Structure 1
Amino acid sequence: MSAPDYTACIEAIELLCARVAMSRQPQLPSLANVAELPAGTTLWSSTYARLLLWPVSANQSEVIARAADEGEGWLDALLSQAEDALTAPVDGYLVLALPSAPEPEADDEIRKLELSARICRKHLIWPSPADALAASAGPWARVADITILGLPDAVTASGDAVYWPEMSKAAEVLLRALQKEGALVVAQLDADGPIPLENGA
């Protein structure tokens, strides 16, 4: 069996990461007391999350379980480091890249692994089979199922900037009243009738 095309895998993930404001890290951080990184390991990050692609050498259950443990350990160390630096929680996503599609009898084990919330969310992906490629599927199956990446198309790309939505005049008046008078007073005013707009607006 030929080695999977991790370049195509990285490119497929990269395209989706760009849409959720995650960027690929050119160099992986050095972490103490963690597993050695398999060839093809790639990390994307943002202010709110880290996504780690962790290639798996074989499809056997014990190999997948060991890879999941090693990838979780590495990502856990990274997330701890990031949270210490940012003083804010950072979500983690571990993507285990299998060399080929698993056998159907592995479905329950895969589902159990992906439902596990220990340390981080986990997803398994693999190269698309020939029939899926013939039907115009992407080169790697299930990439769009990765929780943080599987978002619908949007008119504008997401970003790290925080902004306030535009509010109607009535909403602005209500917000100012809440800030000035407090919720109890505003609730009583509201019970007596609509809160008047300022300057007769």
Structure 2
Amino acid sequence: MSAAIALDPLCRGVGLSTSDRLDKAADGAALWLGPYASVLLWPATEADLADTTITAEAWFGDLLLQEEDSRSARVLDGYLLICLPAKPPETLEPVLRSIELSTRICRKHVVWPEADGEWRRFDSVTVLRLPEGVTSVASDLQWPTLSNDGKAMWADIQDRGGVAAAQAEEKRA
């Protein structure tokens, strides 16, 4: 599965929509925009990884500035995903680390498909989603047991409000 096809449902799941604003972008680039963030997928090869990242970063920086200007200076988080066709060799680890730790323009991630075709490195892109949570079943919910002092304080908070109850407690102490 291509990176763009795998990434699309993750972006849509957090309110980002595909955009065709890809003038002068690399062939194979894909863009998702939303009210608070943008994700740009930009293809690269191992041989041109560093140079491609600089080019993609400059292109994305211009787009983010245009978007922020059109939104009356509202800040837009940018996530640049540099997409390799396969897992890079360990010798590229320092380059990958340098790219991903860079704070220029936007957050950056280098992604590639695993041997099974899955794009697991999308999991590190914070804007895409939070991990699936486990929720309590309503019957599992329990209120804490309060001491008599705790019950009296809770009643005071309900009667006077939090600030007044805290001030009264402070005077008692």
TM-score range relative to shorter protein: 0.7 to 0.9
CA spacing shift, 1:107–1:29, aligned 2, 3 Å: closer
> Equivalent residue of 1:50, what SS?
strand
Q: CA RMSD in A?
A: 2.5
Q: With the length of structure 1 as denominator, give the TM-score of the two structures.
A: 0.65
The amino acid across from 1:94 in the alignment is L
Deviation at 1:150, TM superposition (A): 4.8
CA contact (8 A) 2:61 2:105 kept: yes
Q: Deviations over 1:124-156 (max 9, x none)?
A: 111222xxx1xxx62x3412222212521259x
The amino acid across from 1:10 in the alignment is A
> Equivalent residue of 2:127, what SS?
coil
Instruction: Provide runs of 4+ in structure 1 moved above 2 Å.
Output: none
Structure 2 residue runs of 5 or longer lacking an equivalent are 135-156
Equivalent in 83, 98, 104 of residue 97 of structure 1? 83
Give the whole-Å Cα distance in 1 for the aligned partners of 2:103 and 2:56. Answer: 14
Give the whole-Å Cα distance in 1 for the aligned partners of 2:129 and 2:93. Answer: 21
1:192 counterpart = 2:171 = no
Equivalent in 83, 99, 111 of residue 68 of structure 2? 83
> Equivalent residue of 1:51, what SS?
strand
Instruction: Report matched runs for 1:69-148 at 5 Å.
Output: 69-87=54-72, 88-129=74-115, 133=116, 138=118, 140-148=119-127
> Equivalent residue of 2:62, what SS?
helix
Deviation at 1:99, TM superposition (A): 2.1
1:28 counterpart = 2:21 = yes
Equivalent in 50, 53, 65 of residue 38 of structure 2? 50
Q: With the length of structure 2 as denominator, give the TM-score of the two structures.
A: 0.74
